[in-house]
Homo-oligomer: A and B are copies of this chain.
Amino acid sequence: MANITKKVSWSSRTDESGAAGEDTPLLNGSEPPRRSRQLSEGDGIFQIGRLSTVDLEEEITSDEDSLRARPKEIPHNEKLLSLKYESLDYDNIENQLFLEEERRMGHMNFRCLEISRWVICGLIGFFTGLVACCIDIVVEILAGYKYKEVKENIEKFTEAGGLSISLLLWAVLNSAFVMVGSIIVAFFEPVAAGSGIPQIKCYLNGIKIPRVVRLKTLLVKVFGVICSVAGGLAVGKEGPMIHSGAVIAAGVSQGRSTSLKRDFKIFEYFRRDTEKRDFVSAGAAAGVSAAFGAPVGGVLFSLEEGASFWNQMLTWRIFFASMISTFTLNFFLSVHHNTPGELSSPGLINFGRFDSETMTYNLYEVPLFIAMGAIGGLLGALFNFLNYWLTIFRIRYVHRPCLQVMEAMLVAAVTAMVSFTMMYFSNDCQPLDSNSSEDYPLQLFCADGEYNSMATVFFNTPEKSVRSLFHNQPGTSSPLTLGLFTLTYFFLACWTYGLAVSAGVFIPSLLIGAAWGRLCGILLASITHSSDSMWADPGKYALIGAAAQLGGIVRMTISLTVIMMEATGNVTYGFPIMLVLITAKIVGDYFVEGLYDIHIKLQSVPFLHWEAPATSHWLTAREVMSSPVTCLNRIEKVGTIVDILSNTSTCHNGFPVVVQVANSDEPAKLCGLILRSQLIVLLKHKVFVELARSRLTMRKLQLKDFRDAYPRFPPIQSIHVSQDERECMMDLTEFMNPTPYTVPEETSLPRVFKLFRALGLRHLVVVNDENKVIGLVTRKDLARYHMGKHGLEELQLAQT
């Protein structure tokens, strides 16, 4: 039945640890070796694409130059699992320092901490709202300027006949904006490319993506998204808000900026993975909330993407951050729009309000909705499939930053060109209504008092095009216009996603969907020849189509339903939207995965899904774990520790601590677990048994010392240990986690998986029936197994 395809990886891994094992018993392979200096050269191929992979944050070998060279050596394969990503540690290290600190802290201190958490969430919401507001206003101004210029130019040349000059102006303006946006992304911070949602998904899943929550990333992201939207690309400014919110959260919650070298000495308690990840969830939620005016949708997004263990208070705080974020955005936008204090406007994207009185649906429309969901699923699968091949092409051939910038500029110019051509050859003229919502109505070759209908969708920012498709009166665009627009915009959006610019895919998806949805609505009305108001309103079908297309591409479920409900300010459509999203997901999943998952897979990230693959109960911890394990003694020689940490071929992060045994080959009894980062801090502070005896007055190490070093623990190479000190001993008892979670070796994979995922572990020790360490399970050991077409499959582990 379920058979496993064991690949080269297995043997190569065993070989490596076996070879090392002969020299130093008990000192090998708890995790397969991380990327070493020699291997890192092949990394460059991952430089482009959504997930940049330069591992600087706590990388030991950081040679950036070598990372961008020699792209073709490692065959690109999504059947690989990269070894270079580290996990976040959600498990609390309950060592003696922790217990002492807890004893010192009174009841009141815990209350203060709780209040701090709320304050931080408030701040996260506030700053996220503020950033969203800035992006919105600046984009509005820049895009407004651009369209005004081009419009004047077109009007000038329409009659004179030199419209190619207008085209040139438009293309150059677009390319200029995009060039700026692309340069900062490609050259300064590749991790800021794209929407950032895959990265945040990974982070919330517990994977450390280097530099993803840095201040520099935020700046590049914000500036980049302004440029790419103003540059007229088929992108949205909403996706990047999620990433921005996450960065803001990570920054605010730590009370310092490592980049700016400022430490505000506040919120020091929160300087560890557990707390930081909670706040990043809140930040992502605040980002969604600001982008779509959907605070509940934001909370659900965070939960859907990140939650392992639902915690009521945490969720409530996330909701608070989301609410503050929309509130802040609304307040500042109301000030900007000269109606200060009017707090009822929605988020960044404004779908316009669907009035619940007039807009309604009927039972016999339900099959239509399902059919539209299926169309959305099909188109979404096609989009993802095309983008998948495009991304592989880019990984192979478009990996140099300058090439990336040129591609982005090319796309910008082509977008302008295609749009212009479509407008030029369109003869869909509509009478210019006095209460029309057109921002830049273009007359072109239409009669006076009329405007070019194709221009309403092409000659505008995508957000406004979506809104006009939702709300324009029936008959404002011909079916041909909508069909052509869908076709061209589909390919433009597909080409655009994956460029080295900071931009989201939500709005283009919605726009494509709204266009063909409206087309469906018009066709239906013409088929039924009905003047019934039920069929006559194509806006409703535009909304359903938009949901179907977006669902078909990103495959989000409950959070997307709620986001759409909140963004339209209408709960009536909840049921049809959900139906459509379910259908789109089922149909789409039949062909290919969701866009974000594709990009995560292409980066070989060890992503843990919700559950272990079904039919994997026969796999046990013994088969899954890595072994033998590098263990440390309770009282260990400093030299041994330094050697283990310096060993670049086995760059482990967690070491089981065992009770003193004779130097035998037999496994030893587990008594704790200690992390690389802890050992580094101990070495740095020279917490040696001998020194403690000689200097009785030496300040005792506190948790504060560990927090101060977080998250950029120095590499072992930077710590100088003299030859004398190498002979000293270190007592780990006080610092290790004395009760790590363990599983017996016969435990099935799903059980291990459940424990690992539910508790957010990073290391899980496998013991035999005498409590002796026989293996260690890490994220990669679990992420390796997945459900393929032919049952359970195993991914190869790669050094990339």
Which A residues are within 8 Å of any B CB, using their own CB? 1-2, 92, 94, 98-99, 102-103, 105-107, 110, 293, 295-296, 299-300, 303-304, 307-313, 315-316, 319-320, 323, 326-327, 331, 340-344, 353, 356-357, 359-364, 557-558, 561-562, 565-566, 569-572, 574-575, 578-579, 582, 610-611, 614-615, 617-618, 669-671, 738-739, 741-744, 746-748, 750-751, 754-755, 758-759, 767, 769-771, 791
Contacts and interface: CB of A to CB of B under 8 A. Distances in A.
Contacts of A296: 296, 300, 561-562, 565, 574
Contact of A312 (B94, B304, B743): B304
A618 B582 CA distance: 48
Nearest to A741: B755
Contact of A323 (B310, B343, B578): B578
Given A362-B343, A569-B572, A571-B566, A303 B299 contact: no
Nearest to A670: B769
Contacts of A557: 312, 316, 319
Contact of A615 (B107, B742, B746, B791): B107
A159 B771 CA distance: 90
| Candidate in A360, A755, A758 with the most chain B CB atoms within 10 angstroms | A758
B758 A739 contact: no
Contacts of A1: 103, 106-107
Contacts of A361: 343-344
Given A94-B748, A343-B360, A344-B356, 5 more contacts: A2-B107, A99-B617, A323-B575, A353-B356, A755-B759
A459 to B, nearest CB: 29
B618 A569 contact: no
A307 B310 contact: yes
Contacts of A319: 557-558, 561, 578
B315 A558 contact: yes
Nearest to A578: B323
Nearest to A567: B571
3 nearest A-B pairs in the assembled complex, by CB-CB distance: A344-B360, A341-B363, A758-B758
Nearest to A754: B759
A751 B582 CA distance: 38
Contact of A343 (B363, B611, B671): B363
Contacts of A342: 360, 362
Contact of A582 (B320, B359, B565): B320
Given A99-B617, A310-B310, A610-B311, A769 B769 contact: no
B569 A751 contact: no
Given A311-B611, A356-B569, A343 B575 contact: yes
28 contacts: A1-B107, A99-B748, A103-B618, A105-B615, A107-B791, A110-B614, A110-B615, A296-B296, A296-B562, A312-B558, A320-B578, A323-B574, A327-B575, A331-B363, A341-B364, A343-B361, A344-B572, A353-B356, A356-B569, A569-B570, A569-B571, A670-B769, A739-B743, A739-B744, A739-B747, A739-B751, A742-B744, A755-B759
A312 B610 contact: yes
A565 B618 CA distance: 47
Given A343-B362, A739-B751, A308 B311 contact: no
A748 B103 CA distance: 14
Contacts of A323: 574-575, 578-579
Given A308-B309, A575-B327, A618-B99, A299 B362 contact: no
A771 B342 CA distance: 65
B617 A313 contact: no
Contacts of A327: 575
A557 B317 CA distance: 10
Contacts of A565: 296
Nearest to A618: B99
A267 to B, nearest CB: 18
Contacts of A750: 92, 94
A92 B107 CA distance: 38
Contacts of A617: 94, 98-99, 102
Given A357-B353, A743-B739, A303 B295 contact: no
A362 B344 CA distance: 8
Contacts of A309: 308-310, 754, 758
| Candidate in A565, A571, A671 with the most chain B CB atoms within 10 angstroms | A571
A769 B582 contact: no
A363 B791 CA distance: 58
A558 B323 CA distance: 11
Contacts of A343: 360-363, 572, 575
A588 to B, nearest CB: 15
Nearest to A579: B323
